[in-house]
Amino acid sequence: MNTVSPDQQALLERYRASHIGVFGMPGLVLSHGEGAYVWDVDGNRYLDLLGGIAVNALGHGHPELVAAVSTQAGAALHVSNFFTTPTQIEAAESLLRIAQAPQGSGVFFANSGSEAVETAIKLSRRTGRTGIVAAGGAFHGRTTGAVSLTHKEAYRAPFEPLLPGVTHVAPGDIDALRAAVGPETAMVLLEPIQGEAGVVPTPPGYLAQAREITREAGALLVLDEIQTGVGRTGAWFAHQLEGVTPDAMTVAKGLGGGVPIGGLVTFGPEVTGLLTAGQHGSTFGGNPLACSAALAVIATIESEGLLEHAVQAGQFLVERVTSLGHPLIAGVRGAGLLRAIRLTEPIAPAVAASCRAHGFIVNPVAPDALRLAPPLIITTDQLATFVDALPAILDAAAEQTPETP
């Protein structure tokens, strides 16, 4: 088992002494990565099954991504939004293409998913309405507007009063959604798969029905693809698996492969025209470095067939984990390479700690669920090493949790 050395512990203490403690104490001090692996400063290697929470789509140090940002860094890092660059234009065009957006659609580049959600909020206000409907269990970010749409009480309560006019409805309940949407509703914001709630997919047909409800009410349907987008589920965007076209969607995480970038994509000229010159902006949004990363990520996913690989590797993981028949495994949910291993006992934090001790990084996203969002380049052989180790990992966690039978 790996242990944290005194040198690494000293670094963690320096972190504690120099940072505002919003993230708590980090688990490790990582020094570098290669492919699907990362190393801590003690030289211990870990299979990264979280991918920076679905950010490192190409893994660590992918040569195409490294070459793109290195070349761009030598050309221009920033030019301000008084100007543009070929890289920014090409990134927007590529994003619209993979979004299958019609003529007249548009992109606003931001720096993060939260900033993309803030943009969606302002877009919805331009309808002349102020009501917003989101789902119970939703996570849309932690900036003040975004946290108003996030459902978890612990994230919201310290900062109330938040944005008015927000209604949360039971997730997956189409009747509840229909009852909540009315003439004052500006936007319905939904995640195709709720990542922070435990990788919980919306029921089949739910998004299509939400599309009908919002269209009838004259409200925008905005989909949060921040975690599910850019190939994570085996499609460029998860809503494409449902055959639904939203009015807008938010993107971030995997788009830059680790370089910070986010964005709002609007579908069609009517929605695109809601925001006009001077109504929104971002100093760093669309900067050529981030856009070069996005172009490299999109091109590499296409050239390496990573959409198809995400489907196949995800299915491999489901079948192998399920076949273990371990009493602490209740099943696997999700799509592509965004998965949660459901546990029969609420011991996910102990299991995640045991995983780390065995050289695997996972996320205890809920008391009874482990989130896996590995790099899209992860191989089935690498996934197999995790599955093969999982029974011993679970047994070790159970031994450390007295209330577990």
- 225 labeled part of a ligand binding site: yes
- 356 labeled part of a ligand binding site: no
Indicate which residue of 40, 48, 108, 224 is catalytic: 224
- 48 classed as catalytic: no
- 152 classed as catalytic: no
Buried b (16+ CB within 10 A) or exposed e, 320-355: bbeeeebebbeebbbbbbbbbbbbebebbebbbbbb
DSSP, res 127: T
- 224 labeled part of a ligand binding site: yes
Closest CA to 197 of 369, 23, 376: 369
In the chain, the amino acid numbered 246 is P
- 226 labeled part of a ligand binding site: yes
Indicate which residue of 109, 139, 237, 267 is catalytic: 139
Helix, strand or coil, per DSSP, at residue 185: strand
Distances in Å between the alpha carbon of 258 and those of 296, 297, 300, 349? 12, 10, 14, 25
Helix, strand or coil, per DSSP, at residue 339: strand
Instruction: Evaluate the omega torsion of the peptide bond into residue 161 and state whether it is cis, within 30 degrees of 0.
Output: yes
- 282 labeled part of a ligand binding site: yes
- 224 classed as catalytic: yes
- 209 labeled part of a ligand binding site: no
272 Cα distance to chain centroid: 24
Indicate which residue of 48, 253, 267, 360 is catalytic: 253
Neighbouring CB atoms inside 10 A of 402's CB total 6
State the Cα–Cα distance between residues 219 and 247, nearest whole angstrom. 9
Helix, strand or coil, per DSSP, at residue 375: coil
Sheet architecture: strand order including 338-343: 329-335, 338-343, 369-372, 363-366
- 85 labeled part of a ligand binding site: no
Q: Which residues contact 355 (CB under 8 A, 6 or more apart)?
A: 49, 361, 362, 370, 393
Q: Are 387 and 332 in contact (CB under 8 A)?
A: no
State the Cα–Cα distance between residues 140 and 148, nearest whole angstrom. 9
Task: Could you list the residues known to form a binding site, using ranges.
Answer: 139, 142, 224-227, 282-283
Residue ranges for the known binding site for N(2)-acetyl-L-ornithine are 142, 282
As annotated, the active-site residues are 139, 224, 253
Extract the annotated binding site for pyridoxal 5'-phosphate. 139, 224-227, 283
